[in-house]
Amino acid sequence: MDLQDVQSWLNDVLREASVQFHKVPGSAIFLRYVKSSYQNDPVRSAVELFLVLFAIRYLAAPAYSTQKKSYVTLSEEACHLSSGIDVLLTSLKEVDELVDEWTPEPLVAPQTTFEEAENEKRPVIVGPTGPKSKLSNGRTVANLASYNFYNLVSNETLKEKAIQVLRTYGVGPCSPPGFYGTQDVHIKTEADIAAHLGTPACIVYAQAFSTISSVISAFSKRGDIIVADRAVNYAIRKGIQISRSTIRWYEHNDLQDLQRVLERVVTEQAKKPLTRRFIITEGLFENVGDMIDLPKIIAFGRQYKFRLILDETWSFGVLGRTGRGITEHQNVDAAEVDMIVGSLAGPLCAGGGFCAGSDSIVEHQRISASAYTFSAALPAMLATTASEILSMLQTSPEMLTTTRENIKTMWAQLDPRSDWVHCTSSADNPIMILAFKSDLIASKKLGVADQEQLFQEVVDETLANGVLITRLKSMPRAINATSKDVGWELQPALKVCVTSGLSKKEIERAGITIRHAITKIVNKRR
């Protein structure tokens, strides 16, 4: 067969293939598309052809597993046995031996000697927690270690109301709010908080700790900018870590350093695509106890185009004439703060948390905040309790007045009269943080571990004298993808929680007991 015959045969084959192809439904449309596509953009046709071939290869490829396969290596004796039963029995025996020899990794790190000694002395409260609590050893002590600032735990009116709600609604809705967990009491509580603060809307979460973490991660994503105080609490740090945003820290409560960081961020982002930017801080700092200057921070946010996320976990229900928080205390319109996050479980002794802001901010969280969409809704009993306490704060402001008088009494006994400690908390904060003075730390060369040991001895000494207090515990270091070292470490300190459930004389005696215990323990150290 010569070349001319081969060409003739190929022409016949192609002609027959063309005839058969044109018989396929839609073939004319396909040919017209290919011709027009190639004439207008041949590169696109090449890319489409590559994608088609890749899809065909992917669908035709055999199935495979991405999991790393792990096999138990058996002995040569088991591998050379001829009988299937013998192989099975030998294999099972060797597998059992390997299981017996395997030691799992511990879930938590082993306790240190200091932690073991602390746990052995840890007091156990029997019965309800109140201003005077009974311990398992039979003693009754003045309880200055709980957040029962207004003695709401023993309020009989709240107890009766909670029992009524419990009998009507049950223990809990057992479902996320977006499914069938939302009840009328939740809607009422959200409206009550929004009205109390003076914001357009509010959303209620089931857990106080996870509220701020979910709010941060719902709005700030990878590539966004967060400027945060170095002393923010652990819940905020976890929210920053979850968000995977770029973090810039500023010195604790240093507004000049805050302005410097904001100016630097604006300069760095001048020629980059627009990103969301947030300032995150606390009203009353959990780890230090001091207060921010909210009007100046709001002014900085407006000047440099940053949104403000304000954590009022420890200032809501504490500051202000009616307990509205730092906005009322510093005469700031709550609507000027983009997001106000607070707790219903601390000073209010109820449960859950909230975020107040504009309608759009609240509605966004209902589908984007993980703690709201994936957690069962707040029990109706706790939601109703929170609403009742808010009403009490508005109608009975003397609750706050009594507590503040006791704070002044305790402050007078501890801060000015002690040669060894000073109070880092704000004068209106019922949580008094007592840290060693810098000259004492320098003169006695006290490291962090030494200070923790001394404060624990003070806690034990005060307990022996009928007063229950606690101390700040070490906070796990938060690691962020863009800033692994925040340059701030929690300073060891005592924590004294003042309550209105004790009289002024009882508070005074407790303060004297604490001061004498500090003096005794410090003088023992040579």
Q: What is the pLDDT of residues 286-313, one digit of tens each?
A: 999 999 999 999 999 999 999 999 999 9
Say what angle helices 448-464 and 113-120 make with each other, to 10 degrees. Answer: 10
Residue located via tokens 């003397």: 398
pLDDT digits (tens, 9 = 90+) for 170-221: 998 889 998 889 999 999 999 999 999 999 999 999 999 999 999 999 999 9
List the alpha helices (DSSP H) in 121-181.
156-169
Q: Annotate 201-269 with three-state secondary structure.
A: EEEEECCCHHHHHHHHHHHCCCCCEEEEECCCCHHHHHHHHHHCCEEEEECCCCHHHHHHHHHHHHHHC
Residue type, 506: E
**pLDDT value at position 89?**
67
Which pLDDT score, from 0 to 100, does residue 479 have?
41
| pLDDT tens by residue, 336-383 | 999 999 999 989 999 999 999 999 999 999 999 999 999 999 999 999
| Residue 177 DSSP label | I
Question: What is the average pLDDT score of the chain?
Answer: 88
pLDDT tens, position by position, 12-57: 887 888 788 778 887 777 777 777 766 667 777 778 878 888 888 8
**pLDDT at 81 > cutoff 60:** no
Per-residue model confidence (pLDDT) at position 59? 86
- Cβ-proximal residues to 469 (8 Å cutoff; 6+ apart), any chain: 144, 145, 459, 462, 463, 494, 495, 496, 497, 514
Q: What pLDDT does residue 415 have?
A: 83
* Residue 72 confidence (pLDDT): 57
Q: What is the reported pLDDT for 493? A: 95
HEC letters along 32-66? HHHHHHHHHCHHHHHHHHHHHHHHHHHHHCCCCCC
- Mind listing the pLDDT tens digit for each residue in 464-490? 999 999 999 876 544 433 344 456 788
What's the mean pLDDT in 81-102? 71
Phi then psi for residue 223, to 5 deg, are 95, -20
- What is the pTM for the complete model shown? 0.79
Please report which confidence band the pLDDT of residue 65 belongs to, taking 50, 70 and 90 as the band edges: low
- For residue range 408-455, list pLDDT tens digits in order: 999 999 988 888 999 999 999 999 999 999 999 998 888 988 999 999
Task: Flag whether pLDDT at 77 surpasses 60.
Answer: no
> How big is the CA angle at 296 (ends 294 and 297), to the nearest 5 degrees?
65
